[in-house]
């Protein structure tokens, strides 16, 4: 077996710039940060949402954040086998009714995670509008779901996969393309 | 991105004796994540949608049955309750018949409470569905053991090295057995304290320290798990009187206040106030008795969720079958 080839799609600096731009776009689409809630999808979407929130706060605005673990809403849980580990879900105590929720995830691929996230959010309330912000859109949708804000659109060769690295989990910030071995 | 998988628990949850430290940790961690669901505006997740669960309670129980029902409903499972009291049929036959009838109705899981030790295993070996032991005789009550572990962990951090004393009627108690197995697996030190007549003759073989005096137990312990004196089983002259029991073994405010450290107080309920525990202690600052009840729902949700998946090799088989 040969080691799979890894290629950097965005280094730390480029990723920081992309997140900064995404933060500005989300605020613009939401018409300000006051009603906005950035909701990171567990796991790496959480760190990305935190970074975007830090950008927004650095510009002097106040913004709410939350985290969502979509495991219990997945559409493949009817399959047999060990159950996935369930992570924490935390949304603002005042709820999401009437707010603008921006779902933040690392990679948008089939769209199934986002479908699950939309269903889960609906059990918490009725946002005025829900946006989708992803660091990487790699195409390959299996559901009619499109992002509102994208950091990078990537072409991924067959069998390849996009890995988003965040310092809290992976030790560094960046985006890599892992090609099929 | 693929999520990590939790360790496989096996088809059934029959007792904590059979579980590894890794499996118990996964159950507690999953329960931790599930706590939040009960605080949502819509207290329901779709993870067990389409699953049918039978709650077969052959022995009276209110809180355990209700707790399981809440857990099932919050996971969107469909539930049916069977209760049977005082059947004249021999226990073995009743269970085999019950098992056959249940299987004929295409169910997915059975939660069983039965007065005979070993009945949950007996059923589990005869049906394909997952079986969850909700208390079998004097054997085990694993979900109670898990919720006690979770509640202790919530307040005292990792269980490793903690000293937990189980007080009272250890002899008749499946809660005690599940606690002893679970706590020891997690690296806690376990003590038991009660009148000699209410301690099993072989209790030391379970790896516990025996205390003859409640004062010594309280001085030693970080946590007291005070068991219910099972009054319905006290006809055999185990104790002279309830007043005498309270005087000698009761967990009273005076005794708890004399402890060298803050002792966390658990009780599986229902309490006999003024017998094994005084109201001052049960309602006092160190009591986490109601939190045990809250945690019970989360723990049972975790058990049902983790059992609903199946074995890793089944997943492989399903994958190969799908591709062919």
Q: Which bin fits A139, alpha (ψ -120 to 50), beta or left (φ > 0)?
A: left
Beta bridge partners of B165: B191, B224
CA distance A41 to A116: 10
**pLDDT, tens digit, 9 for 90 and up, residues A60-96:** 999 999 999 999 999 988 777 789 999 999 999 999 9
pLDDT number for residue B93 = 62
Q: Tell me which of 3.40.50.720, 1.20.81.30, 3.40.50.2020, 3.40.50.300 is the CATH number of domain A12-75+95-154.
A: 3.40.50.2020
pLDDT category, B155, cuts 50, 70, 90? very high
CB-CB: which of A80, A89, A106 is closest to B1? A106
Strands B52-57 and A36-41: unpaired
Give the 3-state secondary structure of residue B112: strand
Instruction: Tell me, yes or no, if A76 comes closer than 8 A to chain B by beta carbon.
Output: no
Least Cα distance to B191 among B227, B155, B237 occurs for B227
Question: Is B46 within 8 Å of A72 when comparing Cβ atoms?
Answer: yes
Contact A37, A65 (CB under 8 A): yes
pLDDT number for residue B319 = 54
pLDDT number for residue B61 = 87
Task: Give the position of tokens 């280094």.
Answer: A11
Least Cα distance to B104 among B120, B137, B87, B127 occurs for B127
What number is the ipTM of this complex?
A: 0.90
Average pLDDT value for chain B: 91
Query: Catalytic residue positions of B?
Result: 63-64, 91, 113, 141
Instruction: Tell me, yes or no, if B231 comes closer than 8 A to chain A by beta carbon.
Output: no
pLDDT at B324 over 90: no
Least Cα distance to B212 among B196, B200, B189 occurs for B196
Distance set, CA A126 to CA A96, A105, A179, B36, B289 (Å)? 6, 20, 40, 19, 36
pLDDT category, B14, cuts 50, 70, 90? very high
**pLDDT, tens digit, 9 for 90 and up, residues B276-311:** 999 999 999 999 999 999 999 999 999 999 999 877
Q: Which of A79, A84, A86, A140 to mutate to test the interface with B (most CBs of B within 10 A)?
A: A86
Instruction: Provide the residue ranges of all domains of chain A, joining segments of one domain with +.
Output: 12-75+95-154
Question: Is A123 within 8 Å of B44 when comparing Cβ atoms?
Answer: yes
Average pLDDT over residues B203-220: 95
Residues making up chain A, counted from first to last: 181
Backbone torsions φ then ψ of B299, nearest 5 degrees: -65, -40
Query: Which residue positions in chain A have pLDDT lower than 70?
Result: 1
pLDDT number for residue B224 = 98
**pLDDT, tens digit, 9 for 90 and up, residues B121-130:** 999 999 999 9
CA distance B53 to B110: 6
pLDDT number for residue B261 = 93
- The alpha-carbon gap from A21 to the nearest alpha carbon of chain B, in Å, equals 24
- Chain A residues closer than 8 Å to B312 by CB: 81-82
Average pLDDT over residues B106-111: 95
Distance of CA B6 to the CA centre of its chain: 20
pLDDT number for residue B237 = 82
pLDDT number for residue A79 = 78
Q: Which of residues 101-130 of A touch B (CB under 8 A)?
A: 106-107, 119-120, 123-125
Residue B154: count other Cβ atoms within 10 Å of its Cβ.
16
Q: Which bin fits B106, alpha (ψ -120 to 50), beta or left (φ > 0)?
A: left
pLDDT at B320 over 70: no
The pTM (predicted TM-score) of the whole model is 0.93
pLDDT category, B321, cuts 50, 70, 90? very low
Task: Give the position of tokens 């290629």.
Answer: A7
N-to-C CA span, chain B: 25
Tell me whether the omega of the peptide bond preceding residue A167 falls within 30 degrees of 0, making it cis. Answer: no
**pLDDT, tens digit, 9 for 90 and up, residues B25-43:** 999 999 999 999 999 999 9
Strands A149-153 and A64-68: unpaired
CB-CB: which of A83, A86, A95 is closest to B309? A83
CA distance B38 to B298: 8
**pLDDT, tens digit, 9 for 90 and up, residues B238-251:** 888 899 999 999 99
Domains of chain B and CATH, by start: 21-141+296-308 (3.40.50.1370), 142-292 (3.40.50.1370)
**pLDDT, tens digit, 9 for 90 and up, residues B78-101:** 999 988 755 444 455 678 787 778
Least Cα distance to B17 among B146, B175, B182 occurs for B182
Strands B130-136 and B109-114: parallel
CA distance B160 to B183: 9
CA distance B68 to B50: 17
State the burial class of residue A32 (Cβ atoms within 10 Å of its Cβ: 0-12, 13-18, 19+). Answer: exposed
pLDDT category, B315, cuts 50, 70, 90? low
Question: Is A84 within 8 Å of B6 when comparing Cβ atoms?
Answer: yes
- Chain A residues closer than 8 Å to B8 by CB: 82
Beta bridge partners of A100: A36, A129
CA-CA-CA-CA torsion for B121, B123, B125, B129, nearest 10 degrees? -110
CA nearest to B31 within chain A: A86
């Amino acid at each position: 077996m040969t080691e799979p080839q890894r290629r950097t799609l965005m280094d730390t600096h480029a990723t920081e710039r992309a997140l900064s731009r995404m933060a500005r776009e989300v605020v613009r689409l939401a018409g300000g940060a006051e009603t906005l809630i950035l909701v990171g999808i567990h796991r790496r979407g959480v760190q990305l949402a935190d970074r975007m929130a830090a950008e927004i706060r650095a510009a002097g605005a106040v913004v709410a954040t939350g985290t969502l673990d979509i495991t219990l809403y997945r559409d493949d849980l009817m399959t047999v086998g060990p159950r996935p580990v369930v992570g924490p879900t935390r949304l603002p105590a005042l709820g999401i009714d009437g707010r603008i929720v921006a779902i933040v995830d690392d990679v948008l691929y089939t769209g199934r995670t986002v479908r699950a996230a939309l269903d889960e959010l609906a059990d918490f309330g009725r946002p005025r509008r829900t946006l989708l912000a992803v660091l990487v859109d790699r195409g390959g949708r299996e559901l009619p779901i499109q992002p509102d804000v994208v950091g990078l659109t990537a072409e991924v060769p067959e069998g390849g996969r996009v890995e988003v690295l965040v310092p809290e989990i992976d030790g560094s910030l960046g985006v890599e393309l892992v090609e099929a071995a | 991105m693929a999520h990590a998988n939790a360790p496989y628990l096996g088809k059934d949850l029959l007792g904590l004796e059979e579980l590894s430290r890794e499996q118990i940790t996964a159950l507690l961690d999953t329960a931790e994540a599930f706590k939040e669901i009960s605080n949502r505006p819509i207290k329901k997740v779709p993870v067990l949608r389409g699953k049918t669960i039978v709650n077969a309670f052959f022995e009276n129980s209110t809180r355990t049955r209700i707790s399981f029902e809440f857990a099932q409903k919050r996971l969107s499972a469909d539930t049916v309750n069977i209760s049977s009291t005082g059947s004249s049929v021999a226990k073995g036959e009743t269970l085999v018949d019950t098992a056959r009838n249940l299987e004929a109705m295409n169910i997915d899981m059975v939660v069983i409470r039965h007065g005979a030790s070993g009945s949950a295993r007996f059923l589990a070996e005869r049906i394909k569905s997952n079986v969850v032991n909700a208390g079998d005789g004097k054997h085990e009550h694993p979900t109670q053991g898990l919720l006690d572990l979770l509640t202790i962990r919530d307040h005292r951090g990792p269980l490793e090295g903690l000293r937990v004393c189980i007080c009272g009627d250890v002899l008749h108690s499946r809660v005690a057995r599940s606690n002893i197995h679970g706590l020891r697996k997690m690296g806690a030190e376990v003590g038991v304290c009660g009148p000699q007549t209410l301690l099993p003759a072989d209790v030391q073989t379970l790896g516990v320290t025996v205390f003859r005096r409640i004062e010594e137990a309280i001085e030693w312990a970080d946590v007291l798990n005070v068991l219910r004196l099972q009054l319905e089983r006290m006809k055999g002259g185990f104790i002279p009187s309830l007043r005498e029991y309270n005087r000698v073994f009761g967990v009273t405010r005076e005794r708890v206040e004399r402890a060298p450290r803050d002792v966390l107080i658990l009780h599986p309920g229902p309490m006999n106030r003024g017998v094994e525990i005084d109201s001052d202690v049960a309602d006092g600052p160190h009591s986490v008795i109601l939190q045990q009840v809250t945690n019970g729902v989360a723990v049972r949700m975790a058990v049902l969720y983790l059992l609903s998946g199946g074995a890793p090799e089944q997943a492989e088989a399903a994958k190969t079958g799908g591709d062919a």
